[in-house]
Amino acid sequence: MFRNATAICLHLVGPLRGKKSGASLTRCLHQTLTMAKRLQARRLDGIDHNPWVEFVKLASEEADVVNLGQGFPDFSPPEFAVEAFQHAVSGDFMLNQYTKAFVIIVEPFFDCYEPMTLMAGGRPVFVSLKPSPIQKGEPDSSSNWQLDPTELASKFTSRTKAFILNTPNNPLGKVFSREELELVASLCQQHDVVCITDEVYQWLVFDGFQHISIASLPGMWERTLTIGSAGKTFSVTGWKVGWVLGPDRLMKHLRTVHQNSIYHCATQCQAAVAQSFEREQLHFGQPSSYFVQFPQYIQRCRDHMIQSLQSVGLRPVIPQASYFLITDISDFKNKMPDLPGAADEPYDRRFVKWMIKNKGLMAIPVSTFVSVPHQKFFDHYIRFCFVKDESTLRAMDQKLQKWKAELM
């Protein structure tokens, strides 16, 4: 880059300045560098770090690492979804043609919420889910993690424009109860706030818990945008197809933004998703429904992983839903507090790097999913993905059994 800039400046400035071309070149390079510094808006400072790239790269550099960090199934999607996609690709040929407000974010949160808010010119305001005390020796559950009503209410001001809700929650796997949703709904209505609710895991709920959409509560449809995902609904995370439901007075603005910022979406994927929903509608609520079968299978994967992680002293927080569980690593933090890493690097990030290199297992540090000031409260948790093929879970078992033997 610098060689090219130098050559251009010499070519343009040299003949005009003669012997002074060196000084002009210096000014030219200075102006080029200064302009480059100004390309990024200040509101984007600090959000360019990508933890996914960091930990995936680290895992790829080690031999035989079991990837339990990233949230994608490593097995085939249902046949009906693949068939729908194949039909969409080979069928109708026309499908190949065109077709600074304050924002409250509940943490832990999916890590894109904060940079998206900043990119839009908003100011994130964070409120944390906190675990309730449990009896010693009892397993923790995501249902124990609650918002403090007084703290939550204090976050709403006259400048609050939106509230971002994620239920079921990633990374915690928490399903917000009706009582919790009614509290959020009451505050949104009291302060005239739009609720943006990410419900991509709505079909992956376990143990008899029930997902409730906040838009279904009285007075909330007209102020709620509900987000869904085909990737999580039909196990096709690579298709990158999603949707938003809401009143037209909100949707018309969303369509304007979408139309002018996202130019491409694979039409065949959209058609395949529509056909998959039509198929599910015929089987809805029956044993043959994918929305019945898939959660049952994934719950068995969850239970398998929980038992295996417990064998080495990790303490999983049992999730009510989603692809993920977090596990408490406090015991390891107490036993080996001085893992390699920068002095200001959260412990969970150092632990995951150690685990990748020394145990051949990959997870994601939970401090990635919270605001920087609150990382110290979450740096003793790491996130695992249990939506994996049986062969991947067996590979995990082998790694953990070896780890367990080393502890004896």
Read off the CATH number of the domain in which 299 is found: 3.90.1150.10
Q: Which pLDDT score, from 0 to 100, does residue 96 have?
A: 56
Query: Order of strands across the sheet with 381-385?
Result: 140-141, 315-318, 324-328, 381-385, 364-365
From residue 165, give the alpha-carbon distance in Å to each of 123, 134, 287, 351, 400.
16, 25, 31, 29, 35
Of the listed ranges 60-69, 289-298, 391-400, the least confidently predicted one is 60-69
What's the total number of domains in the chain?
Answer: 3
3-state secondary structure of 364: strand
Q: Which pLDDT score, from 0 to 100, does residue 142 have?
A: 97
Q: Write out the E strands in 40-185.
A: 66-67, 102-107, 123-128, 130-131, 140-141, 145-146, 160-166
Task: For residues 104 and 237, state if they share a domain.
Answer: yes
Residue 401 — φ and ψ, nearest 5°? Answer: -65, -40
Report the pLDDT averaged over residues 383-402: 96
Peptide bond between residue 171 and the one before it cis (omega within 30 degrees of 0):
yes
128 has which bridge partners?
107
Give the confidence band of 11 by pLDDT, cuts at 50, 70, 90: very low
Report the pLDDT averaged over residues 165-178: 98
Query: Order of strands across the sheet with 102-107?
Result: 123-128, 102-107, 160-166, 194-198, 224-229, 242-245
**Shortest CA distance to 245 belongs to which of 212, 278, 213?**
213
Of the residues 233, 267, 283, the one at which a domain ends: 283
Of the listed ranges 37-41, 192-196, 346-350, the least confidently predicted one is 37-41
Range of the domain at 243: 79-283
Task: For residues 67 and 86, state if they share a domain.
Answer: no
Of the listed ranges 14-18, 145-149, 211-215, 321-325, the least confidently predicted one is 14-18
Say what percent of the chain tops pLDDT 70. Answer: 84
Task: For residues 324 and 367, state if they share a domain.
Answer: yes
Task: For residues 56 and 113, state if they share a domain.
Answer: no
Arithmetic mean of pLDDT over the chain: 86
Task: For residues 100 and 231, state if they share a domain.
Answer: yes
CB-based burial label for 106 (10 Å; 0-12, 13-18, 19+): buried
Q: Which pLDDT score, from 0 to 100, does residue 399 have?
A: 96
Report the pLDDT averaged over residues 256-264: 80
Task: For residues 128 and 198, state if they share a domain.
Answer: yes
Give the confidence band of 54 by pLDDT, cuts at 50, 70, 90: confident
Of the listed ranges 12-26, 56-70, 270-284, 342-356, the least confidently predicted one is 12-26
**Looking up tokens 């739009």, which residue turns up?**
194
Task: For residues 24 and 110, state if they share a domain.
Answer: no
Distance, in Å, from the CA atom of 328 to the CA atom of 139, rounded to the nearest integer, reads 11
Residue 226 — φ and ψ, nearest 5°? Answer: -105, 125
Element (H, E) at 135: none
Give the confidence band of 5 by pLDDT, cuts at 50, 70, 90: very low
Looking at residue 29, its amino acid is L
Of the residues 260, 283, 306, the one at which a domain ends: 283
Q: Report CA 369 to chain centroid distance, whole Å.
A: 8
Give the confidence band of 47 by pLDDT, cuts at 50, 70, 90: low
